Amino acid sequence: MKAIVLNKKTYKLEIKDVEKPILSYSDVLIKLKAASINHHELWSLQEKSLRSDSNIIMGSDGSGIIIDAGAGVNDLKKGDEVIINPSLNWGANNRVQREGYEILGFPTNGTFAEYIAIDQQYICPKPEHLSFQESAALPLAALTAYRAFFNRGEYEKGNRVLITGIGSGVAMFALKFAVALEAEVYVTSGNDHKILRAVELGAKGGVNYKESGWSAKLLQMAKGFDVIVDSAAGKGFKELTEMTNPGGRIALFGRTAGNIENLSPSTIFWKQISIHGTTMGNKEEFKKMIDFVSSKKIRPVIDSIYSIQEINLAFDKMAKGEQFGKIVINMDKFNNDI
């Protein structure tokens, strides 16, 4: 088969012929129809952190059609349209992933390929109202957003919500989830146009964090927040604690702005703020996320769709922070040029 393989000298992606996966007892073989890209992969490319003696096939997100199944596979069959849960080997403790946990794409070969073989436990039916391209936008970002918003953010009806860095895949899903529940939700961005688009999607308002006095403007709009979903950390995290209502929760899943500085302990303990780190999610949360998306008929925001040959261009766009929503890769047509 053909796959998009990491060139470990240039840290660019290129199409190569590789061996087709072999099914084990509980695996299904999926013909991939679409994939999407994430900052998770971008950071690996930028930091040049992946090392292996064999081909590295990245990609955490994917949707497709089952074309074969191992002898031990139950409830799944040839022809089923499915999406893949990229959260592997979580373990028995739903509160935290175990040692040996991994995200699909390394060291286990990922979705940037014609085919993938993966254990049946990581497969869910594709939501009927979504296309393959829309479904491929879900797994990593929507799972991360679901756990951050519902589990770690402990959203309750009537809570006022802030989502930072609107435009990223996770932030967009957090916005979609909040709007689906008719929450009062606000956003931040370094781009005014992204704020306007978020308002069109149901946000009550937002501010540009590059402007001086941004946190005061936001407080004037919203009067404080019960749930904050943050992907940035950095210097601005201090302002987030100051905007959190007493008893509020901050769910932190990213580090795009760097290390946190100058937190006031008294602000945190006197207001009894809970700061919850969060990464990905467990199998139960993935299934609940799919059910929620299906029941609310939520559609992901797709920024753009690239061909297989344009995947390096897609990552270049993500590196510039130009996207609003998910960047999807059509996986139907391979050739040897990229």
Query: What per-residue confidence (pLDDT) applies to 332?
Result: 87
pLDDT at 336 over 80: no
User: Residue 31 belongs to what domain range?
Assistant: 2-138+300-330
Whether residue 245 sits in one domain with residue 177: yes
Whether residue 128 sits in one domain with residue 14: yes
Whether residue 250 sits in one domain with residue 315: no
* Distance, CA of 33 to CA of 62 (rounded, Å): 8
User: What's the pLDDT band for 24 if we cut at 50, 70, 90?
Assistant: very high
231-247 pLDDT per residue, tens: 999 999 999 999 999 99
Whether residue 72 sits in one domain with residue 30: yes
The dihedral sign for the CA sequence 132, 134, 140, 145: negative
DSSP 120: G
In a domain, 153, yes or no: yes
64-86 pLDDT per residue, tens: 999 999 999 999 999 999 999 99
77-120 pLDDT per residue, tens: 999 999 999 999 999 999 999 999 999 999 999 999 999 999 99
Whether residue 93 sits in one domain with residue 168: no
Whether residue 263 sits in one domain with residue 224: yes
Whether residue 233 sits in one domain with residue 158: yes
User: Which among 163, 138, 161, 140 has a CA at the least distance from the CA of 252?
Assistant: 163
Query: What per-residue confidence (pLDDT) applies to 160?
Result: 98
- Entry pTM: 0.95
Whether residue 128 sits in one domain with residue 69: yes
User: What's the pLDDT band for 322 if we cut at 50, 70, 90?
Assistant: confident
pLDDT at 32 over 80: yes
217-232 pLDDT per residue, tens: 999 999 999 999 999 9
Whether residue 306 sits in one domain with residue 229: no
| Domain count within the chain | 2
Q: What proportion of the chain, given as a percentage, has pLDDT over 90?
A: 94
In a domain, 292, yes or no: no
Whether residue 323 sits in one domain with residue 265: no
Query: What per-residue confidence (pLDDT) applies to 203?
Result: 98
* Distance, CA of 144 to CA of 141 (rounded, Å): 5
In a domain, 295, yes or no: no
Q: CATH number, domain at 187?
A: 3.40.50.720
Strands (DSSP E) contained in 168-292 are 184-189, 205-208, 225-230, 244-252, 274-277
